[in-house]
Amino acid sequence: MRKRLTKIGNSLGVVLDRPLLDQLGVDAETELEISSDGSVILIAPVRSKKRDAKLKKVTDRVFDTYAGAFKKLAE
């Protein structure tokens, strides 16, 4: 998807399409983390600590269950 910056007052902004926002589960109340490495701008929704802990628990279980398969794939 390509976008152009839009003038908003004295600033510039990017308008994100509704289907993208819906896919990400982002709305007007969602806090966003914006970072850059000097050439790329990254915009990501800030997720709750509880959600992150749940994701870590699930991924740890997957890694434990399939450690042998992951090792073979890495070789």
CATH topology of domain 6-74: Pemi-like Protein 1; Chain: D (2.10.260)
pTM: 0.55
Res. 51: pLDDT tops 80 = no
The H or E element containing residue 7 is: strand 6-8
Residue 9's pLDDT is 95
**Whole-angstrom distance, CA of residue 19 vs CA of residue 25:** 10
pLDDT in tens, 26-49: 999 999 999 999 999 999 998 878
